[in-house]
Amino acid sequence: MMELTVNGATSYCYTGGKPFDAAKPTVVFIHGVVNDHSVWILQSRYLANHGWNVLAVDLPGHCRSLGEAPSSVEEAALFIGALLDAAGVQKAALVGHSWGSLIALEAASRLKERITHLVLVGTAFPMKVSPVLIETSLNEPEKALTMINVFSRSTLAAPPSALGPGTWIYGLGMALGRRVLASNTKVNVFHRGFKACDSYTNGEAAIAQITCPVLFVLGAQDQMTLPKAAQTLIAKARASGKTVQVTHLPVGHHQMTEAPEETLSAIRDFLAN
């Protein structure tokens, strides 16, 4: 693990069980709303043991990272740039899931050539969140956690994933959501994260401005970010001459636990090029 001081606050990064090595290329994993670094454990450990520096970050105000929780995608993207600076990383690949995918996209558009690869997992633009869900995340977060947990899953029988065989990912999602919420006693990071997703408007401009290849990893049964909701970004990326890959997985919104092997393969193969 690494603890970096970013914007005056301690930021936690899981490094996949390996020490940071400046000679290796770096990949940054960015989690979604009411998640933390632990959603990327398998992918992080694999890449850390196969030639990459891994920085799987807890966003500010989430779990092990201090600081003010970002209230917009743009603010979070600035944090990613500052994180790379704090780590002394000149170039990095960015991998984001859901809200994290928008943060990765916006950061890539701002950091331009510093970003070597962009991977958007479970993404959509615009990433509109229903008013009911936004309000529920504020006033009845436990109920809203249940709602997104159900919307995020496509199976009652997920394969072995981060905790190994015998993991009940519905329960895992609820417990992690509760823990992330409890980690910040000042701000409801659930509501703030959803508001940030809902209010982000720069997606099309951002995808046109990136200078690296982009991989979309989409869940065919995703009820949170429908695959068709990523088509605008895909079309815009192609229209602006980017190298675009799209991987469709037969799963829901939480690709990392419902299809851990396929998600890893897609990311690994993309980063290898």
Partner 1 sequence: MPGYADPGFDTLALHAGAVPDATGARAVPIHLTTSFVFESSEHAQSLFNLERAGHVYSRISNPTNAVLEQRVAALEGGIGAIAVASGQAALHLSIATLMGAGSHIVASTALYGGSQNLLHYTMRRFGIDTTFVKPGDIDGWRAAIRPHTKLLFGETVGNPGLDVLDIPTISGIAHDAGVPLLVDSTLTSPWLMKPLALGADLVYHSATKFLSGHGTVIGGIVVDGGSFDWAKAYALTGKFSELAAPYDGFHNMNFSEESTVGAFLLRARREGLRDFGACMSPHTAWLILQGIETLSLRMTRHMSNTEKVVQFLASQPFVSRVGHPMLESHPSHALAQKLLPKGAGSVFSFDLKGTREQGKKFVETLKVFSHLANVGDCRSLVIHPASTTHFRMSDEALASAGITQGTIRLSIGLEDPDDLIDDLKRALRAAEKAGA
User: Where on the chain is the footprint of partner 1 (CB under 8 A)?
Assistant: 1, 14, 17, 36-38, 41-42, 45-46, 49-50, 63-64, 146, 150-151, 153-168, 170-172, 174-176, 178-180, 221, 223, 252, 260-261, 264
Q: Rounded to the nearest 5°, which phi and psi values hold at 57? A: -90, 145
Closest to partner 1 by CB, 17 or 88: 17
User: Do the Cβ atoms of 64 and 12 come closer than 8 Å?
Assistant: yes
Closest to partner 1 by CB, 166 or 241: 166
SS3 2: strand
Strand blocks (E) in 23-114: 26-30, 53-57, 92-97
Closest to partner 1 by CB, 112 or 128: 128
The residue type at 218: L
70/197 Cα distance (integer angstroms): 11
113/216 Cα distance (integer angstroms): 19
Closest to partner 1 by CB, 113 or 140: 140
Closest CA to 65 of 1, 129, 10: 10
Tell the smallest beta-carbon distance from residue 157 to partner 1 (Å): 4
Tell the smallest beta-carbon distance from residue 130 to partner 1 (Å): 12
70/61 Cα distance (integer angstroms): 8
Beta carbons within 10 angstroms of residue 156's beta carbon: 8
Tell the smallest beta-carbon distance from residue 238 to partner 1 (Å): 29
Tell the smallest beta-carbon distance from residue 165 to partner 1 (Å): 4
Closest to partner 1 by CB, 180 or 271: 180
154/224 Cα distance (integer angstroms): 11
Tell the smallest beta-carbon distance from residue 35 to partner 1 (Å): 9
Tell the smallest beta-carbon distance from residue 15 to partner 1 (Å): 9
Closest to partner 1 by CB, 97 or 114: 97
Residues in the chain: 273
185/33 Cα distance (integer angstroms): 16
